[in-house]
């Protein structure tokens, strides 16, 4: 099966390891990876801040970059959801609405793709430790992917899964919110890290690079011995 | 002072102050936990909550689309029962009308219950100005009134930010000298208030739902004081926002159920009071005179706009009770009588961007509010819509931000430019990095690094790795 990877700008620029893990994992599961190099950012940072006009350029670019794709897979719930929003954003636009719809229809978040398209629940990963999982808001509430990551995690050999208290509560990332309302966001992430600590887990897993940078940044600042991993990295551990 | 706007301080100062108020934050997070658990239980037991929500949404949408007709029907029916109806375009018109009644009746004392909209029209202050004593009879409002007219911090429990000890201290001002047991304190309030009902000239209440087919006003309460406010004084005034209508009793029942389950997690509240006009010929209880004041105050401007869904609101506060931002900053930070997600959407619409332009940004757009709203208002999308308006129409966004976003538009819409950005991101950031992390960032990163580190970019960019890999495969 041929899969076009939408790696997301955060991973592209800062978290290359997550991208690598995604590629290796999908290949191991039998996919052939295509990486359209003309992909940019999905436009979410500007869009969410209210700069709709400014964000449309990058959206059009993305639509073009993935026009040829059969499946578009991305290691981010939030960015996958953004693609799903494109048809609404281009509603009424004779040139782009239809194309946006095509892109939305063939886009999948990584774990959703593995469980619901590839129909695999055990990827054969092995990792020792006690892990808890952060359910990111866009992935859970807006995209509606809830069970897939948990099912995959529970099948990782050697990994003990513990549920996070207040798991549905936002970590305070929210894109530009984290700098625009830095202190409120800071209190939110501080509470999140305290909840993570209470689980006794030594690994925090998530499926969105943004949330993980936020939570990981706070963990690093407080010096807690908790390792932060993207779910692609966990599933690619052997 | 208590109109919509509750504070003259800057938004930033309010945030700072409230984040440092550990009592308030403790009270709020405990209350949120209570509300959420109870709501969850009441929602799950229905088994088909999503159908209920869809039904609630349908009812509210239908009313808004036919609001003219229902307002007409409601007025006709109130008048048929001998009541008076006044339609107030502005808050001044509303409070003037009520002041006139007070003057005519030579009212000295007015008892009140259950009304956010009277705060919106600044009614208490207006009435006090003409020499009336106004007594709030809801326990929570009573507490705030005793505490030098402190503004509400929550649309259902206005004193949510206070803990027991603080409430006891406030009651002490009125001569209370017993324990901080809620029952004992409630008894004190009840005794104090009982006298007031008996001697009041006018009773003023809000309205949860007005039923068009019969001209009936519905009040949903737990303390029973609204019964007394509406039954004892000779003159009864109900103040309602113009959108709070339902066609018939049937829809009222659906919405009351959605309301009580969502707000406090009850199947039904202790009291659902139905008021239909003044006392009839053969009735023993009820007022001699009944007035219904229907307040527009900016609502008709929302009607027909992209923001129309916000008028579906039934003021249950479920969105407030689940909001992670409200959780930390509390209600007063919003600077409006309407706080939380509903307040962040509604306040700029009713009160203007000048005073409330920060509120739409006081959200991580996590969507928790949208998920719980019993009438399916897309709250986070409306917050986003505000941001869009602020940027595009109002020109109120900071210049530096506009420049960054322009640059973003340019960079991200051209893949060669983006390619360069992706390549240089790592080298640009690395001078700031120590031990794989950035602890004090440049520019906008500063707000980030106040509380958390920024992970230093991975040494090799993804693009580079991918390119090498593909090359390797080919050779
Ligand atoms: S917006 Fe929805 S959840 Fe919030 S108070 Fe109104 S009805 Fe309740």
Contact, B114 vs B221, CB < 8 A? yes
Task: Indicate whether A88 and A145 sit together in one domain.
Answer: no
CATH number of the domain at A39, please.
3.40.50
The pLDDT score that the predictor gives to residue B407 is: 66
Query: Helices A16-28 and B462-474, interaxial angle, to 10°?
Result: 40
Task: Indicate whether B427 and B291 sit together in one domain.
Answer: no
Could you tell me the residue range of the domain that residue B61 belongs to?
Answer: 11-301
Task: Indicate whether A112 and A10 sit together in one domain.
Answer: yes
| Whether A40 contacts chain B with CB within 8 A | yes
The pLDDT score that the predictor gives to residue B1 is: 43
Question: Is residue B331 domain-resident?
Answer: no
The two counts, helices (H) then strands (E), for chain A are: 13, 8
Final residue of a structural domain among B253, B273, B301: B301
Main-chain phi, psi angles of A172, to 5 degrees = 95, 5
Residue nearest to atom 2 of ligand 1 (CA): B373
Helix (H/G/I), strand (E/B), else coil: B433? strand
Task: Indicate whether A205 and A148 sit together in one domain.
Answer: yes
Contact, A62 vs A69, CB < 8 A? no
Cβ distance A180 to B447 less than 8 Å, yes or no, reads yes
Residue nearest to atom 8 of ligand 1 (CA): B316
Which candidate in A10, A16, A190, A226 is best for mutational testing of the B interface (most B CBs within 10 A)? A16
Task: Indicate whether A110 and A16 sit together in one domain.
Answer: yes
Final residue of a structural domain among A116, A136, A163: A116
Task: Indicate whether B287 and B433 sit together in one domain.
Answer: no
The pLDDT score that the predictor gives to residue B195 is: 84
| Whether B364 contacts chain A with CB within 8 A | yes
Question: Is residue B368 domain-resident?
Answer: no
Task: Indicate whether A206 and A183 sit together in one domain.
Answer: yes
Could you tell me the residue range of the domain that residue A82 belongs to?
Answer: 2-116
- Could you tell me the two tokens for A59? 């959206």
Min mean pLDDT across A142-146, A223-227, B113-117 is at B113-117
The complex scores an ipTM of 0.93
| Whether A4 contacts chain B with CB within 8 A | no
- Could you tell me the two tokens for B410? 């340019």
Contact, B256 vs B209, CB < 8 A? yes
Number of domains in chain A: 2
Question: Is residue B265 domain-resident?
Answer: yes
Choice between A86 and B228, residue whose per-residue pLDDT is larger: A86
Task: Indicate whether A132 and A230 sit together in one domain.
Answer: yes
Task: Indicate whether A97 and A73 sit together in one domain.
Answer: yes
Task: Indicate whether A111 and A184 sit together in one domain.
Answer: no
CA distance B203 to B205: 7
Choice between A48 and A74, residue whose per-residue pLDDT is larger: A74
User: Residue ranges of chain B with pLDDT lower than 70?
Assistant: 1-2, 394-400, 403-404, 406-436, 441-444, 474-475
Task: Indicate whether B267 and B408 sit together in one domain.
Answer: no
Query: Would you list the DSSP string of B72-134?
Result: HHHHHHHHHTT-EEEEESSHHHHHHHHHHHHHHTT--EEEEES-SHHHHTTHHHHHHHTT-EE
Question: Is residue A82 domain-resident?
Answer: yes
- Could you tell me the two tokens for A148? 């897939």
Number of domains in chain B: 2
* Distance from residue B379's CA to the centre of ligand 1 (Å): 8
| Whether A168 contacts chain B with CB within 8 A | yes
**Closest partner CB to B452 (pick from A17, A38, A217):** A217
Task: Indicate whether A97 and A182 sit together in one domain.
Answer: no
Task: Indicate whether B293 and B407 sit together in one domain.
Answer: no
Q: Considering only residues 411 to 440 of chain B, which have any Cβ-Cβ distance to chain A shorter than 8 Å?
A: 411-415, 418-419, 421-422, 425-426, 429, 437, 439
The pLDDT score that the predictor gives to residue B370 is: 97
Strands A126-134 and A157-162: parallel
Strands B271-275 and B216-221: antiparallel
CA distance A94 to A71: 24
The pLDDT score that the predictor gives to residue B77 is: 96
A175: left (phi over 0), alpha (psi -120 to 50) or beta: left
* Distance from residue B334's CA to the centre of ligand 1 (Å): 16
**Nearest chain B residue (CA) to A139:** B366
Chain centroid to Cα B276, Å, comes to 27
Question: Is residue B306 domain-resident?
Answer: no
Cβ distance A142 to B367 less than 8 Å, yes or no, reads yes
Final residue of a structural domain among B281, B301, B321: B301
| Whether B458 contacts chain A with CB within 8 A | yes
Final residue of a structural domain among A93, A116, A139: A116
Main-chain phi, psi angles of B289, to 5 degrees = -130, 140
Residue nearest to atom 4 of ligand 1 (CA): B319
**Closest partner CB to B457 (pick from A14, A39, A169):** A14
CA distance B119 to B96: 14
**Closest partner CB to A16 (pick from B370, B451, B465):** B465
Helix (H/G/I), strand (E/B), else coil: A199? helix
Alpha-helical (H) ranges within chain A are: 9-13, 16-28, 44-48, 52-65, 77-89, 97-105, 110-112, 137, 147-154, 177-180, 182-199, 209-222, 231-235
Percentage with pLDDT > 70 across chain A = 100
Angle at B56 between CA B50 and CA B62, to 5 degrees: 135
The pLDDT score that the predictor gives to residue B258 is: 95
Task: Indicate whether A109 and A132 sit together in one domain.
Answer: no
Task: Indicate whether B294 and B406 sit together in one domain.
Answer: no
CA distance B82 to A91: 50
Task: Indicate whether B289 and B414 sit together in one domain.
Answer: no
Contact, A61 vs B438, CB < 8 A? no
Cβ distance B426 to A57 less than 8 Å, yes or no, reads no
CA distance B370 to B376: 7
pLDDT averaged over every residue in chain A:
94
* Distance from residue B246's CA to the centre of ligand 1 (Å): 16
Q: What is the least distance, in Å, from the CA of A223 to any CA of chain B?
A: 10
Q: Give the ligand 1 atom nearest the CA of B341.
A: 4
What's the first-to-final CA gap in chain A, in angstroms?
A: 23
Final residue of a structural domain among B270, B286, B301: B301
> For residue range A36-73, what is the model confidence (pLDDT) as tens digits?
998 988 888 889 888 888 889 889 999 999 999 999 99
The pLDDT score that the predictor gives to residue B445 is: 74
Question: Is residue A121 domain-resident?
Answer: no
Question: Is residue B17 domain-resident?
Answer: yes
Task: Indicate whether A150 and A185 sit together in one domain.
Answer: yes
Task: Indicate whether A74 and A143 sit together in one domain.
Answer: no
CATH number of the domain at B273, please.
3.40.50.10420
């Amino acid at each position: 099966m041929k899969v076009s990877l939408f790696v997301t700008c955060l991973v592209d620029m800062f978290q290359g390891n997550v991208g690598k893990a995604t590629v290796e994992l999908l290949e191991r599961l039998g996919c052939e990876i295509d990486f359209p190099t003309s992909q940019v950012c999905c436009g979410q940072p500007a869009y969410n801040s209210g700069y709709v006009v400014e964000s449309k350029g990058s959206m059009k670019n993305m639509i073009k970059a993935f026009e040829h794709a059969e499946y578009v897979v991305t290691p981010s719930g939030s960015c996958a959801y953004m693609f799903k929003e494109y048809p609404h954003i281009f509603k009424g636009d004779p040139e782009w609405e239809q194309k946006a719809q095509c892109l939305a229809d063939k886009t999948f978040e990584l774990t959703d793709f593995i469980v619901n398209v590839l129909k695999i629940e055990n990827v054969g990963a092995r990792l020792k430790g006690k892990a808890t999982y952060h359910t990111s808001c866009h992935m859970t509430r807006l995209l509606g992917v809830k069970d897939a990551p948990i099912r995959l995690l529970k099948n990782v050999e050697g990994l003990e899964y513990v549920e996070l208290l207040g798991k549905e509560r936002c970590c305070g990332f929210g894109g530009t919110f984290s700098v625009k309302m830095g202190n409120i966001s800071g209190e939110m992430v501080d509470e999140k890290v305290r909840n993570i600590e209470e689980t006794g887990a030594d690994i925090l897993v998530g499926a969105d690079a943004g949330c993980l940078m936020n939570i990981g940044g706070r963990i690093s600042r407080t010096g807690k011995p908790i390792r932060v991993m993207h779910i692609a990295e966990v599933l690619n551990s052997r | 002072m208590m109109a919509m706007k509750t504070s003259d301080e800057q938004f930033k100062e309010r945030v700072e102050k409230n984040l440092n108020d550990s009592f308030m934050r403790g009270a709020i997070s405990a209350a949120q936990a209570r509300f959420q658990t109870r709501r969850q239980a009441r929602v799950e037991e229905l088994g088909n909550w999503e159908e209920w929500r869809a039904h609630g949404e349908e009812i509210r949408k239908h009313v808004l689309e036919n609001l003219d007709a229902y307002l007409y029907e409601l007025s006709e029916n109130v008048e048929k029962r001998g009541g008076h109806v006044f339609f107030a375009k502005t808050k001044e018109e509303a409070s003037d009308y009520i002041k006139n009644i007070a003057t005519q009746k030579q009212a000295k004392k007015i008892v009140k219950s259950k009304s956010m909209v009277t705060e919106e029209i600044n009614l208490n202050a207006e009435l006090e100005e003409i020499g009336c004593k106004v007594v709030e009879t809801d326990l929570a409002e009573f507490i705030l009134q005793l505490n030098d007219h402190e503004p509400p911090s929550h649309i259902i429990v206005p004193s949510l930010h206070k803990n027991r000890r603080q409430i006891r201290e406030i009651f002490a001002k009125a001569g209370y000298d017993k324990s901080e047991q809620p029952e004992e304190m409630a008894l004190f309030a009840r005794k104090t208030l009982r006298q007031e009902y008996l001697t009041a000239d006018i009773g003023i209440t809000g309205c949860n739902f007005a039923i068009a087919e019969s001209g009936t006003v519905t009040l949903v309460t737990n303390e029973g004081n609204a019964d007394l406010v509406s039954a004892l004084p000779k003159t009864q005034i109900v103040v309602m926002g113009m959108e709070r209508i339902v066609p018939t009793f049937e829809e009222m029942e659906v919405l009351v159920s959605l309301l009580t389950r969502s707000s406090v997690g009850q199947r039904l509240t202790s009291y659902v009071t139905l008021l239909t006009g003044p006392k009839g010929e053969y009735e023993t209880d009820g007022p001699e005179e009944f007035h219904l004041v229907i307040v527009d105050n900016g609502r008709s401007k929302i009607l027909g706009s992209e923001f129309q869904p916000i008028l579906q609101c039934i003021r249950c506060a479920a969105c407030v009770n689940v909001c992670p931002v409200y959780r930390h900053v509390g209600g007063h930070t919003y600077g409006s009588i309407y706080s939380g997600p509903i307040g962040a959407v509604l306040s700029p619409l009713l009160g203007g961007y000048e005073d409330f332009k920060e509120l739409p940004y006081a959200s991580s757009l996590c969507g928790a509010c949208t998920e719980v709203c019993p009438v399916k208002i897309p709250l986070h999308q409306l917050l986003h819509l505000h941001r869009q308006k602020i940027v595009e129409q109002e020109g109120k966004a900071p210049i530096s931000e506009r420049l960054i976003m322009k640059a973003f538009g340019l960079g991200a819409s051209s893949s060669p430019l983006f390619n360069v950005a992706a390549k240089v991101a790592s080298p640009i950031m690395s001078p700031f990095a120590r031990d794989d992390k950035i602890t004090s960032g440049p520019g906008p990163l500063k707000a980030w690094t106040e509380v958390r580190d920024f992970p230093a970019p991975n040494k090799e960019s993804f693009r580079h790795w991918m390119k090498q890999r593909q090359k390797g495969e080919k050779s």
